[in-house]
A and B are shown apart, each in its own frame.
Chain A
């Protein structure tokens, strides 16, 4: 069964958040900009780790609510989960008091090996069945709401790009789960596989969306777009965010920047832009 999101913790995760990353932590934690309302972390970077990472998280938690986004319990793998890790994750997540956790709808490993990257799942009934079962398994293990995130992919999985949206919805419904909607991933996939990103968003049940990701991506010379989180957010992705928020309403939006991290002021300018879009799109929702 899907878990209810605690209204108390959820209400503190609102507006625009930023991913807490090593490269930007020093400046962010010193300046503590008020326009950043919450932070997102990858638990794999903190579980069983002291030193600078432990300090970063302690400092971050003084002022900001935290949301977590997993990297290594991807929903498409076939092997049983490592029970010990799930227990460690549960204890870590319960210590830092989060409203929900999220994980990618992709293949992160095979047998006892990890790709450390997000490999695509075919949009098949078999993959939807496996992913939804695994989602339920992780959600039960951590005893928290678990959102899946739609992933970017570069190798064609079928002829119709919009089949990905049907696949995502299928997994959401089978597991009665929440969605972390990544608008940059939809945009990247739309351009790489020639479908209309807005038509994709139209297929998403708005009530399931608990969080949105926004990022920039890299355009290769051969035209392929790679989801690097290493470039500024392009206008087309801002536009798609506006479109999505008008449908979904005021869910928290995270700016992801993992590579090529610029000075904080450049990221804060993007955060401001996100606030402008967020306010205009969600005011429209309230007015309706």
Chain B
């Protein structure tokens, strides 16, 4: 039956150790081990590109163990090769948070955010110009993340990173690369709200200014205008 063969193929390709019974069912031990290698290599290759710095920081062996453990859960659920590193990271980041020095998981989060924005969908067409009484339309290739370690600063220090909480806007730039901009807590909240787009610009500004106990005076308006101008010019708003 094709169904039994298909499941055996899945186990041979992804299990920690392919079983003799599956290899026997499929027919040629040696050739099915070739398939296992081909399937795994393609996935590992894209993971290594997306998480290059994390891999270098953890070391090949430990990184490879996490990848193998993830593969043994049955293989990728995504049809898009570009989403494979995201699935691996969802699985491995909690493990790295437990087992590695604390900034490693932060580095992986940052690398995945950068990868995501590079490969994000095309930007939505705004229905109209930005207006305070409308909901904002932010670029889809943009993520706001809070990092406990400044892992976006390169190169990775030999002794690792010291804690330093940072809000970061990671976005796809005009050359289609991932760029970053450091934000203060208020700007991070504001962009988060704009990304959710469930309230108007005016509502979000008022709510977040109140939350941060900031008066909406001339200095605030000036900073807000600067952010909006930068985002409009950069094509992110």
Contacts and interface: CB of A to CB of B under 8 A. Distances in A.
B102 interface: no
Interface string B1-23: 11101110110011000000000
Contacts of B39: 115-117, 119
B84 interface: yes
A155 B3 contact: no
A54 B119 CA distance: 10
**A: interface residue count bin:** 35 or more
Contacts of B75: 113-115
B77 A112 contact: yes
A269 interface: no
B2 to A, nearest CB: 6
Nearest to A117: B39
B1 A49 contact: no
A89 B110 CA distance: 31
Interface of A: 44-45, 47-55, 71-72, 76-78, 82, 85, 107, 109-117, 119, 121-122, 124, 126-127, 130, 154-156, 224, 226
A51 B176 contact: yes
Interface in B14-34: 14, 26-28, 31-32, 34
Interface residues of B, number: 41
Contact of A155 (B26, B43, B82): B26
A77 B10 CA distance: 12
A130 B2 CA distance: 9
B58 interface: no
30 contacts: A44-B79, A45-B81, A45-B82, A49-B121, A50-B121, A50-B123, A50-B140, A51-B120, A51-B141, A52-B118, A55-B176, A72-B79, A107-B9, A109-B79, A110-B7, A111-B74, A113-B10, A113-B77, A114-B76, A114-B77, A114-B78, A115-B39, A116-B84, A119-B39, A122-B5, A124-B2, A127-B2, A130-B2, A154-B31, A226-B34
Contact of B34 (A111, A113, A224): A224
A107 B6 contact: yes
Contacts of A107: 6, 9
